[in-house]
Amino acid sequence: MKPFYPFRYCPLCGTKLETREHEGRERLYCPKCKIIIWENPVPVVACVVLNENQEVLLVKRGVPPAEGMWALPSGFMEMGEQPEETAKRELFEETGIVGEVEEIIGICGQSSLKYRWIVSIGYKLRWISGKLRPGDDAVDVRFFSLNSLPEIPFSTHRKMIEKVKARKHPR
Ligand SMILES: [Zn+2]
């Protein structure tokens, strides 16, 4: 993967960045500070909540990317936050549901236009309390049958739902 060219200037001194080979990859480099500007994936958390009918909770996104499409409740980890806290916070912010983490479903990388590469951590949560309502970045929220899901734009979300579905219906 090539460096993320939208970053053109050193964040410390403002010098125009160069690229140089380091540890097998082309990196952004500041010739004045003599430092590499490291680029790393951004962690996000996605939440799978099933109701008593084994339907999965989705939110209709009110913000880009994929505005207007249905996806798992999800969001970016904050600095200093543990991933399980992110899951519970995002679930509550987007759906009004207070959840308890049951297990990790999986961890998976995905390309992103804005962040270039994100790592999505999927958690399964149990609905403990709270009333379903769309909040924050969501315009609608509801449960869908695992057999008749709308088009879900994120491959990581599709994979996580498939994993949970496979466990519910062991072959
Ligand atoms: Zn610099």
User: What CATH number does the domain containing 139 carry?
Assistant: 3.90.79.10
> Are 80 and 155 part of one and the same domain?
yes
Give the pLDDT score at 136.
74
Structural domain boundaries, residue 110: 42-168
CA of residue 113 to ligand 1 center, whole Å:
26
80, with CB counted inside 10 A (0-12, 13-18, 19+), is exposed
Give the pLDDT score at 115.
85
Instruction: Give the distance from CA 94 to its chain's centroid.
Output: 13
> Are 63 and 144 part of one and the same domain?
yes
Q: Which residues are CB-contacts of 167 (< 8 A; sequence separation ≥ 6)?
A: none
CA of residue 13 to ligand 1 center, whole Å:
4
CA of residue 15 to ligand 1 center, whole Å:
5
> Are 63 and 129 part of one and the same domain?
yes
* Distance of alpha carbon 171 from alpha carbon 163, whole angstroms: 13
CATH number at residue 17: 2.20.70
pTM, 2 dp: 0.87
Number of domains in the chain: 2
CA of residue 35 to ligand 1 center, whole Å:
7
CA of residue 117 to ligand 1 center, whole Å:
24
CA of residue 3 to ligand 1 center, whole Å:
16
> Are 102 and 127 part of one and the same domain?
yes
* Distance of alpha carbon 70 from alpha carbon 62, whole angstroms: 10
* Distance of alpha carbon 3 from alpha carbon 38, whole angstroms: 9
> Are 61 and 84 part of one and the same domain?
yes
> Are 117 and 88 part of one and the same domain?
yes
* Distance of alpha carbon 107 from alpha carbon 113, whole angstroms: 19
CA of residue 20 to ligand 1 center, whole Å:
14
CA of residue 28 to ligand 1 center, whole Å:
11
pLDDT tens digits for the chain (171 residues)?
666 656 789 999 999 999 999 999 999 999 999 999 998 999 999 999 999 999 999 999 988 888 999 999 999 999 999 999 999 999 999 999 999 999 999 999 998 888 889 999 999 999 999 999 988 788 999 999 999 999 999 999 999 999 999 886 655
> Are 31 and 54 part of one and the same domain?
no
Paired tokens of 104: 């990790």
CA of residue 23 to ligand 1 center, whole Å:
20
Number of other CB atoms surrounding residue 152 within 10 Å: 19
**Which residue do the tokens 């088009």 mark?**
151
> Are 69 and 139 part of one and the same domain?
yes
> Are 30 and 71 part of one and the same domain?
no
CA of residue 22 to ligand 1 center, whole Å:
17
> Are 60 and 128 part of one and the same domain?
yes
> Are 9 and 49 part of one and the same domain?
no
> Are 57 and 124 part of one and the same domain?
yes
